[in-house]
Amino acid sequence: MTSDASSDTPSSPSSHGDGRHHPTGSGAPGGKRTGLWLVGARGAISTCVVYGIAGIRHELIPMAGLPTAFPPLSEIDLVSLDNLVLGGHDVCTRDLSASAGELVAAGILPADLVSMARDDAARYESAIRPGILDVAETGFRDLDPRAAALGSQPPLEQTKAIEADLAAFQADHDLERVIVVYLASTEAASTRQDAWDSTADFEAAVADGVPQPASLLYAYAAIRSGSPFVNFTPSIGANVPALIALAESKGVPIAGNDGKTGETLLKTALAPMFRARALQVLAWQGYNMLGNRDGEVLRDPNHKAAKLETKDAALRSILGGADGVGAGGEDRFHSQVSIDYVPSLGDWKTAWDFIHFEGFLGTKMSMQFTWSGCDSALAAPLVIDLARFADLAARNGESGVLGHLGCYFKAPLASQEHDFHRQMQALYSYAQQQPSKADQ
Amino acid sequence: MTSDASSDTPSSPSSHGDGRHHPTGSGAPGGKRTGLWLVGARGAISTCVVYGIAGIRHELIPMAGLPTAFPPLSEIDLVSLDNLVLGGHDVCTRDLSASAGELVAAGILPADLVSMARDDAARYESAIRPGILDVAETGFRDLDPRAAALGSQPPLEQTKAIEADLAAFQADHDLERVIVVYLASTEAASTRQDAWDSTADFEAAVADGVPQPASLLYAYAAIRSGSPFVNFTPSIGANVPALIALAESKGVPIAGNDGKTGETLLKTALAPMFRARALQVLAWQGYNMLGNRDGEVLRDPNHKAAKLETKDAALRSILGGADGVGAGGEDRFHSQVSIDYVPSLGDWKTAWDFIHFEGFLGTKMSMQFTWSGCDSALAAPLVIDLARFADLAARNGESGVLGHLGCYFKAPLASQEHDFHRQMQALYSYAQQQPSKADQ
Amino acid sequence: MTSDASSDTPSSPSSHGDGRHHPTGSGAPGGKRTGLWLVGARGAISTCVVYGIAGIRHELIPMAGLPTAFPPLSEIDLVSLDNLVLGGHDVCTRDLSASAGELVAAGILPADLVSMARDDAARYESAIRPGILDVAETGFRDLDPRAAALGSQPPLEQTKAIEADLAAFQADHDLERVIVVYLASTEAASTRQDAWDSTADFEAAVADGVPQPASLLYAYAAIRSGSPFVNFTPSIGANVPALIALAESKGVPIAGNDGKTGETLLKTALAPMFRARALQVLAWQGYNMLGNRDGEVLRDPNHKAAKLETKDAALRSILGGADGVGAGGEDRFHSQVSIDYVPSLGDWKTAWDFIHFEGFLGTKMSMQFTWSGCDSALAAPLVIDLARFADLAARNGESGVLGHLGCYFKAPLASQEHDFHRQMQALYSYAQQQPSKADQ
Amino acid sequence: MTSDASSDTPSSPSSHGDGRHHPTGSGAPGGKRTGLWLVGARGAISTCVVYGIAGIRHELIPMAGLPTAFPPLSEIDLVSLDNLVLGGHDVCTRDLSASAGELVAAGILPADLVSMARDDAARYESAIRPGILDVAETGFRDLDPRAAALGSQPPLEQTKAIEADLAAFQADHDLERVIVVYLASTEAASTRQDAWDSTADFEAAVADGVPQPASLLYAYAAIRSGSPFVNFTPSIGANVPALIALAESKGVPIAGNDGKTGETLLKTALAPMFRARALQVLAWQGYNMLGNRDGEVLRDPNHKAAKLETKDAALRSILGGADGVGAGGEDRFHSQVSIDYVPSLGDWKTAWDFIHFEGFLGTKMSMQFTWSGCDSALAAPLVIDLARFADLAARNGESGVLGHLGCYFKAPLASQEHDFHRQMQALYSYAQQQPSKADQ
């Protein structure tokens, strides 16, 4: 192990030949490394990303859960984990070890991994900068005062501050490029602004000091910097015509929104089965419970609304529509999703779904499932996958929305396809067109 | 309503123009109709097929659960339900109305449908002939004495008796062809015979009087008659090299084995999600409960063994193998399926599956589902679909195993593909190559 | 079968000696019969009461679900089902056969029972009078115009109208007494009035025309009439000091509130186990879904609030408090109950509860249950039980709140005991003190 | 903290006054301490007992899960945890720290507790002696050679060896008495011997060298030594007339069999509800999965049979019988329990139960539950409770079967009462008759 998360020395290529613990891949020509900038840098997902990458390097954990570590995706020439350098923004001051401690107590992070990755964590922590606070946020317990100060600046100043941090990170570590992944807590739902419809109007509004959601400014800053931007949250991010157009014109790849990690993943994997068998879904009720910081934020009805919107749309899209079961019965379809804060569950999202459906002879049947998943452990490897694919796209010169990454999102940008299996087909097709590692 | 299940008058083309209740389609040139011959003619599935077709004709029930009634499959020029004439074999004497009564009491068949379809049922009943009894069967309560007598005949005589019944049915109703669908209760597991490996050896063994499983003789008789043969049960049917080769040489389409209606359907729809997300399945436990005649037969350990074998293989095929999650951890995968007889459940199969899996950081998570489905109501429309596709294949001149029908089966003949979504893709691809109804 | 629901001829004592289908019992001295007056007479519960009693008389259904038909309660000398005469109030005009049809379609009422009990139903229907509408109700689809007219009368006129109906029913059928059971849809939560604290103030307020919730006026009218009053709903009913005192002074037995039929029954049967084992409940989440008229009414947030209040209190009472697990950890206990309207479920209430708890060594464990119960079929026999016990209490000269009936209610009047098993002990103790049928 | 598990110095009375972490109690007069001798001393339950007691002493864990630490049981003058000295027998050599490590990895034992209780564990370990091996056992991986040698001795020699160990333990630590709790893995089911019916015959058989199950010899040795004996397993233990009579004549308290910790606890807490509501249970299917050493042993069909027997009887006892729902329908009741070994679950027992029942109008309904419990963490505190109650009984001069402890067992000795709530009532009644700590 000759390289580390944020040392200034480019790593030598991985010397591990077994292919089991080390999904190798090239970096940029000349061995340059790629930065992975996590917004929400001290949150549970980021913590899992940091320790997870360290754990794989130290061969302390299996690669389970990381799709790009397994065929057929592992055959693509993606940036290796050794060539990823981590940093990020956060608005809170709490120490990464506090996040890690919670995850250990919850049985998610192994205690020995936290000990052995102490140096990796410290280097990452030294690369965290105060982020910008969303204009609508209030009452954070451990707010970074510099973040608070930034939050009261005009939007253009905020944007420039982000850009400066990204540029410094890239320079400090001599990075080929920096991938920005937005992981901050769900923002309150915000009123759509007319200016979001065109790049020019949006840039004028920002220049005029019209307040903007934080996720939008992060996306804006990343795209202006030429940094690929991935939004793993339901917040708005780059999902406005102004920014999609800007990404295209600037040649910057973007992807989002809202990582598909748990209940929605299941829904979009199961619903196609009901459609394929012409079973008419009468009701699909989804009850989610969680107890982490994300859950706390969702206690606020405004945040909850933003989150629920993306959770429900996928289902209707698969089951309904002109050519499916819904054709004759769409109006009978009843669907509901709720999210409740249950403190004792911590990061263990527990969801119960009940599906009532009608089959042949009008017979009413049902199925139900309970999902007990650890949200952060499900999300973190997808963040790594997305960073690797965004890096590849930038290397390939792809720009705008990366349509082949729809399988990772609850609300894929510029797409109506929610069927998980069709989304995977699209990704596998893309993968087949890429040069394989063997060719390098 | 000008046609009926088994009148001698070819029906006029359906005059229903709304496309909602009547999936139209052509029959053979000249308006000839197709016979659908159900082996296990008085069982719950056959009963649902008969009343279901009548109910759709009488517009008493929705078409939910019948995939070929919905796009994209409804666009193919399949034989219309109006042009299907029903008959079958059974070894029991009990009246179809007894089966229907049980299904009404269980909340599966609507009572008014049974009243209104009385004539359809009577015509069907008049076309039921005594079947042949599997050599290993004992203790049937209401055994047809003629079936019992047939059961003691040498296998060649049995085969010829079946052929004669098929020929008479075809002639009586002036049918273009007869599709044989095997729906009888699961046979006891039988020792594989060397003679099954070649057509010549098999035919010699039959001629020599070597006893054969009933399902094998039905398949043999159907293929000899030129009748497409579909095996919807886990019994052996045409699944021996001798018969597959015979079907190919005779130009007869065959399909099977074991209809994928419930828990296995769910498994093969869900397992690909775990694989796609690189989630390592540690254990997949499946507990099935049912209380119908099928369940009663499965109380016998020999019958149960035959059934369980096909239920488990699908899962291992999707999750394991050289290029999946299983690569590094296949030996950790633990899987088990059980089926228990719970009389009070009747035809309501209830299954609980527990899936234990490992994700990123080695975190162990779980999901569980409960499926409460009415087996017969799930199976019957698939039988109709299969008959329609077998008819199309015969019309097209296809022969041997119909590979595009794998999505209908737990153990698709001559295929290792169990991923339900890939199976559906194969069917949709086939469908796209067929002339559509609009072209006719 | 010599008697019927509302004939004018007193029935002869039951001549059925087998004790299996006919839980015999005496009526009043001289063979007088008891009236059972159902408020909400055309609702699903009332419909099940009417057809259920008829079904038991006609020996068409088992006595499952009716506690007073089984030992030890069957040993008490309760009024026999043959001696119950049924009538009631409703504000809707829809025919009882419409309610019955829905219950047949949902698989709850057997179709042949509806046919065979046609006369019983007709006699009952002829004894239904227009009820009074709660002042806060709006938008009923099939409102009885006479009920609407009554609803605009001053409260004292409404009370007198109810009393007149009860008196006429008693006289017409020569009844020893009339038991009033309140089964109408949950009222909107109403602001507590100071006048409810004393009988004199309340009577003055009614005389002055101060609007009152309908359930309160029904309770008032019943008590004034000397009719035992049972409130099976979460509406306020007799649950105010003014009416409890009036019932005591008038010597009238009362019982309520809110029948404990499903999820709450389970909670109060299970929670004592957690307490007995010192397992610290961290969270108890309850999600209820239902699709009947009751569910429709609960879509209104005001009605929902009234309902949820009684559902949650029971749990906290058993688990919390000074001497239980909660002692050191009550503040960690998180509980939530929701009720959602899922139209396709009809009368089939489906509930999922998730219980997160801490055991020895601080280990967090969980259990979850799904309850699929038919609300009306669970409630109806309890209504019969309550009417029989209320009749016995009146015969015994008991007055005020019947404390031994707490096991039937989610929010038992004048009681903090929610532990179902202790409630049953109280009922069994009461039963032991009663003269048994054998002594009569 | 002035005392420890096995020092020779009697502890001073606990000086903790808060009553939260230290359920105080007296020991014997003169401050003598009580020995707790665990058979199966290195198993998961024993490990949890040892670390749990240490954790409570060190105030590292809450007292959740320990019924005698909470009112009303905490009011009885039971031996304090500080006055319990631990030792035991085992046939395996593996280190206690290996057991502890597994429990830490499974998220059951907190890692810091294992560190802080290192001395307690070491002292306990030094008091573990090689046990006797059941005659039917084979293939233990880490068998203690001295245990193997003992296993080939005649039964009387084995008994004497156990007695000698108990006597040495008592003398070494100057103990008032020693409570023996049998926790070893389930024995294979053994054929009942006629000699078990009388003490004299049994003693003669042992003297004659007739091989006996190990659990029987442990019980015999304990009773001969005057040590109260508690059997927490389904093995036979003291459950033969010969030993029950001996315990009575020797004045020794005994209790057992088979700790009621999980699914059976739930069954016996829930089944009374169905009976109380006259809901006719048609089927109760219980599926258990576990992956610990106990589960491995249960893979052997003989061991499994012994275990399942006690799991099923409780349910039939509560639901069936002459005076309950079962009266008219017992023959319709179908029940089944299975236990499967699922390695990845480790100590996390997961059970799914499905209950099908009939209510009013013959309506069939269902409920299902999933229990995810950590077996050892559920069992360990009950072992402590039982030791404290056995100590009290000995102090009180009670002898033979302790009937008030039925709530702790799946198959309570000499009792047909399985209703958990009635069992708790019996325990609470006993508790009320005891002098309270306040009286001392």
> pLDDT digits over A395-422, tens only?
999 999 999 999 999 999 999 999 999 9
Confidence check: pLDDT of A113 > 90: yes
pLDDT at site B37 = 98
> Are the beta carbons of A358 and A279 closer than 8 angstroms?
yes
Q: Distance between CA C238 and CA C216 in Å, rounded?
A: 6
Confidence check: pLDDT of B6 > 80: no
Q: Distance between CA D376 and CA D298 in Å, rounded?
A: 16
Query: Judging by beta carbons within 10 Å of its beta carbon (0-12, 13-18, 19+), is residue D100 exposed, middle or buried?
Result: buried
The two beta strands, B229-231 and B253-256, are parallel
Phi and psi at residue C77, in whole multiples of 5°? Answer: -85, 75
pLDDT at site C138 = 57
Give the nearest chain B residue to C369 (CA atoms): B370
Average pLDDT on D293-312 reads: 69
Query: Which of B85-94, C21-30, D229-238 shows the lowest per-residue confidence on average (mean pLDDT)?
Result: C21-30
**Which one, of B402, B406, B391, B393, lies nearest residue B254 by Cα?**
B402
Confidence check: pLDDT of A19 > 50: no
Confidence check: pLDDT of B11 > 50: no
Residue with the larger pLDDT of the pair A14 and B174: B174
Highest-pLDDT range among A85-94, A179-188, A384-393, D322-331 = A384-393
Q: Using pLDDT thresholds of 50, 70 and 90, give the confidence band for residue A307.
A: low
**Which one, of D386, D415, D435, lies nearest residue D34 by Cα?**
D386
Closest CA of chain D from C275, distance in Å: 8
pLDDT at site B331 = 62
Confidence check: pLDDT of B133 > 50: yes
Interchain pair C111, B111: CB under 8 A:
yes
Highest-pLDDT range among C267-276, D129-138, D316-325 = C267-276
Chain C residues touching A363 at Cβ < 8 A:
none
pLDDT at site C45 = 96
> pLDDT digits over C103-146, tens only?
988 889 988 899 999 999 999 999 999 998 776 665 566 778 78
> Are the beta carbons of D8 and D152 closer than 8 angstroms?
no
pLDDT at site C437 = 79
DSSP, collapsed to helix, strand or coil, labels residue C129 as strand
Q: Tokens for C376? A: 């009306």
Average pLDDT on B30-51 reads: 92
Residue with the larger pLDDT of the pair C308 and A235: A235
Contacts of C267 (CB under 8 A, 6+ apart): C284, C286, C314, C315, C353
Chain D residues touching C420 at Cβ < 8 A:
273, 276
What Å distances lie between residue B130 and A10, A210, B91, B172, CA to CA? Answer: 81, 83, 5, 17
pLDDT at site A18 = 34
Average pLDDT on B382-391 reads: 98
> pLDDT digits over C168-188, tens only?
999 999 999 999 999 998 888
> pLDDT digits over A170-180, tens only?
999 999 999 99
- For chain B, the average pLDDT equals 87
Q: Which residues of C388-426 are buried (b: 16+ CB within 10 A; e: fewer)?
A: bbbbbbbbeebbbbbbbbbbbbbbbbeeebbbbbbbbbb
Confidence check: pLDDT of C26 > 50: no
> pLDDT digits over A241-278, tens only?
999 999 999 999 999 999 999 889 999 999 999 999 99
DSSP, collapsed to helix, strand or coil, labels residue C397 as coil
Closest CA of chain A from B132, distance in Å: 30
The two beta strands, A33-39 and A84-90, are parallel
- For chain D, the average pLDDT equals 87
Beta-sheet strand order (sheet of A128-130): A128-130, A84-90, A33-39, A175-182, A229-231, A253-256, A400-401
As a three-state string, the secondary structure of chain B is CCCCCCCCCCCCCCCCCCCCCCCCCCCCHHHCEEEEEEECCCCHHHHHHHHHHHHHHCCCCCCCCCHHHCCCHHHECCCCHHHEEEEEEECECCCHHHHHHHHHHCCCCCHHHHHHCHHHHHHHHHCEEECCCCCCCCCCCCECHHHHHHHCCCHHHHHHHHHHHHHHHHHHCCEEEEEEEECCCCCCCCCCCHHHHCHHHHHHHHHCCCCCCHHHHHHHHHHHHCCCEEECCCCCCCCCHHHHHHHHHHCCEEEECCECCCHHHHHHHHHHHHHHCCCEEEEEEEEEEECCHHHHHHCCHHHHHHHHHHHHHHHHHHHCCCCCCHHHHHHHCEEEEEEEECHHHCCEEEEEEEEEEECHHHCEEEEEEEEEEEHHHHHHHHHHHHHHHHHHHHHHCCCEECHHHHHHECCCCCCCCCCHHHHHHHHHHHHHHCCEHHHC
Beta-bridge mates of residue B37: B87, B180
The residue among A50, A58, A363 with the most chain B CBs within 10 A of its CB, best to mutate, is A363
pLDDT at site C77 = 95
Residue with the larger pLDDT of the pair B324 and D336: D336
Q: Using pLDDT thresholds of 50, 70 and 90, give the confidence band for residue A310.
A: low
Q: pTM of this prediction?
A: 0.91
> pLDDT digits over C394-437, tens only?
999 999 999 999 999 999 999 999 999 999 999 999 999 998 87
**Which one, of D370, D376, D346, lies nearest residue D65 by Cα?**
D376
Residue with the larger pLDDT of the pair D313 and A62: A62
Query: Judging by beta carbons within 10 Å of its beta carbon (0-12, 13-18, 19+), is residue C9 exposed, middle or buried?
Result: exposed
Chain C residues touching D371 at Cβ < 8 A:
367
Residue that has been written with the tokens 């499900």 in this structure:
A378
Chain C residues touching D381 at Cβ < 8 A:
278, 359-360
Q: Distance between CA D10 and CA D79 in Å, rounded?
A: 13
Under DSSP, the state recorded for A279 is: -
Interchain pair B334, D356: CB under 8 A:
no
Widest CA span in chain B: 69
Residue with the larger pLDDT of the pair D248 and D304: D248
Q: Distance between CA D413 and CA D407 in Å, rounded?
A: 11
Neighbors of chain B by Cβ distance (3+ pairs < 8 Å) = A, C, D
Confidence check: pLDDT of C376 > 50: yes
Helix or strand (DSSP H, E) at A61: none
Query: Which of A14-18, B125-129, D30-34, D102-106 shows the lowest per-residue confidence on average (mean pLDDT)?
Result: A14-18
The two beta strands, C84-90 and C33-39, are parallel
pLDDT at site D323 = 38
Average pLDDT on B193-197 reads: 96
pLDDT at site C312 = 67
Interchain pair B107, C107: CB under 8 A:
yes
Q: Distance between CA D131 and CA D150 in Å, rounded?
A: 8
Give the nearest chain A residue to D370 (CA atoms): A370
Q: Distance between CA A251 and CA D281 in Å, rounded?
A: 67
Average pLDDT on D296-321 reads: 72
pLDDT at site C150 = 78
Query: Closest partner residue to B283 among D287, D344, D354, by Cβ?
Result: D344
Confidence check: pLDDT of B167 > 60: yes
Q: Tokens for A269? A: 């994997």
Q: Tokens for C317? A: 């009472």
Query: Judging by beta carbons within 10 Å of its beta carbon (0-12, 13-18, 19+), is residue C115 exposed, middle or buried?
Result: exposed
Question: How many Cβ atoms sit within 10 Å of the Cβ of residue D72?
Answer: 14
Q: Tokens for C41? A: 């007479």
Interchain pair B342, D287: CB under 8 A:
no
Residues of C with a Cβ under 8 Å from any A Cβ are 282-283, 285, 287, 289, 332, 334, 336, 338, 340, 342-345, 350, 352, 354, 356, 358, 364, 366, 368, 370
The two beta strands, B175-182 and B229-231, are parallel
Average pLDDT on D282-295 reads: 88
pLDDT at site D332 = 78
pLDDT at site C307 = 65
> Are the beta carbons of D127 and D4 closer than 8 angstroms?
no
Residues of B with a Cβ under 8 Å from any D Cβ are 282-283, 285, 287, 289, 332, 334, 336, 338, 340, 342-345, 350, 352, 354, 356, 358, 364, 366, 368, 370
Q: Using pLDDT thresholds of 50, 70 and 90, give the confidence band for residue D409.
A: very high
Beta-bridge mates of residue D369: C369, D353
pLDDT at site B10 = 36
Query: Closest partner residue to C289 among A350, A354, A364, by Cβ?
Result: A354
Compute the radius of gyration of chain C from its Cα atoms: 21
Q: Using pLDDT thresholds of 50, 70 and 90, give the confidence band for residue B3.
A: very low
Average pLDDT on D380-400 reads: 98
Q: Distance between CA B408 and CA D139 in Å, rounded?
A: 46
Q: Distance between CA D133 and CA D151 in Å, rounded?
A: 5
Average pLDDT on D260-283 reads: 95
Average pLDDT on D426-432 reads: 97
Q: Distance between CA D305 and CA D299 in Å, rounded?
A: 10
Chain B residues touching A421 at Cβ < 8 A:
272, 421
- What amino acid occupies position B355? I
Interchain pair C354, A350: CB under 8 A:
yes
Average pLDDT on D312-336 reads: 65
Q: Which residues of C314-335 are buried (b: 16+ CB within 10 A; e: fewer)?
A: bbbbbbbeeebbbbbbeeebbb
Residue with the larger pLDDT of the pair C349 and B149: C349
Percent of chain B with pLDDT over 70: 85
